[in-house]
Amino acid sequence: MPSFPAGYRIGHASDSVRRTGCTVVLPPPGTIAAVDVRGGAPGTRETGVFTPGNLISEIHGLLLTGGSAFGLAAADGVAAWLAERGIGYAIGPTRVPIVAAAVLFDLAVGDPRAYPDGPMGRAACDAAGEGEIPMGPVGAGTGATVGKLLGIGRAQRGGLGAAAVDLPEGHRVCALAAVNAFGDVVDPDTGRILGGARGEGGFSGTSRALRHDPLSETPVAGSSTTLLCVATTVPFEPASLKRVAIEAHDGIARAVHPAHSVVDGDTAFALAPAAAAAPPLLMRLRVGAASAEAAARAIVAAVTS
């Protein structure tokens, strides 16, 4: 199983009966974040704070969660957990934890009244640790599905995946993906469908079907998404890190067909140690390429693990 850079702690809270859950990423001190939203139906918290030029770019917790908009409540539990430990942005006599979150829609499977809440967010923090990351139907991926063109009954299991790419200079780029896509997950090298909408004779091929097949049903709006967290050991400043979040979306486009649709909430976060200036150009290019590669591998791992 892959692992994130030293100092990152990742934890899951899963309800396998009602099929929902959440995953928290607790970065080391001094970590900054950038975010890029490409899907047409996102559900997020605290993404505007990471706009380059704003006051704060440091992040203390990142939550990927099921439950659609209801699941954002789990971020309150993460924030409270961090505040109790004195972790946050110092403002006067107090510290305010900066906790970003993004949601996926899993209410069509399991119990539609079940969604992550504050106690579940706390539980994910309590479970967080360094080292190998469990993958498959765990945490935010517990109720995830892929290939929804023909309805949830013909969709396949999604999940949570992770991958890492090592760079020549000894740095690393890692990706964590919660995959609940409208489209099919494919092998980026061959295009072979690994998980997707199933017709009578096998996988329908969502991109092909949208172009050529007579389709009688309209997909449920806002019911899909792929959520990414990409973390690197290379120090960045906020404006250059934004580009890493943008490039991470290339990994979604390689492994999900189609990607970034109007019914998806595709969102990518990029995390890195803070620096006063952008890294050298070659390093920026390396990290960008690695972020897309790690993202694609993590998406594949989510449905194959």
Q: Which CATH number fits the domain that encloses residue 90? A: 3.60.70.12
Packing angle of the helix pair 281-304, 238-255 (nearest 10 deg): 40
Q: Does 2 fall in a domain?
A: no
Q: Does 96 fall in a domain?
A: yes
Beta bridge mates, 23: 12, 64
pLDDT in the model for residue 131: 92
Beta bridge mates, 57: none
Report the alpha-carbon angle 90-102-293, nearest 5.
105
Q: Does 132 fall in a domain?
A: yes
- Are 158 and 181 in contact by the 8 Å Cβ rule? The answer is yes
- Are 270 and 102 in contact by the 8 Å Cβ rule? The answer is no
Report the candidate in 302, 137, 130 with the shortest Cα–Cα distance to residue 226.
Answer: 302
Q: Does 92 fall in a domain?
A: yes
Contacts of 295 (CB under 8 A, 6+ apart): 163, 175, 177, 228, 230, 248, 249, 250, 251, 252, 255, 268
Q: Does 78 fall in a domain?
A: yes
Strand-pair category, 225-232 with 267-273: parallel
Q: Does 281 fall in a domain?
A: yes
Cα–Cα distance list, 124 to 118, 170, 239 (Å): 10, 30, 30
Q: If you search the block for the tokens 């019911």, which residue do you land on?
A: 223
Q: State how far the Cα of 268 lies from the Cα of 274, in Å rounded to an integer.
A: 18
Q: Does 194 fall in a domain?
A: yes
Total domains present in the chain:
1
Question: Over its length of 305 residues, how does the chain's per-residue pLDDT go in tens digits?
Answer: 678 999 999 999 999 999 999 999 999 999 999 999 999 999 999 999 999 899 999 999 999 999 999 999 999 999 999 999 999 999 999 999 999 999 999 998 989 999 999 999 999 999 999 999 999 999 999 999 999 988 888 899 999 999 999 999 899 999 999 999 999 999 999 999 999 888 776 777 888 888 888 877 666 666 899 999 999 999 999 999 999 999 999 999 999 999 999 999 999 999 999 999 999 999 999 999 999 999 999 999 999 98
Q: Does 4 fall in a domain?
A: no
pTM here is 0.95
Structure tokens at 263: 């019914």
Give me the sign of the Cα torsion angle 182, 187, 189, 191.
Answer: negative
What's the domain range around 288?
A: 9-304
Packing angle of the helix pair 118-127, 74-84 (nearest 10 deg): 50
pLDDT in the model for residue 267: 97
Contacts of 92 (CB under 8 A, 6+ apart): none
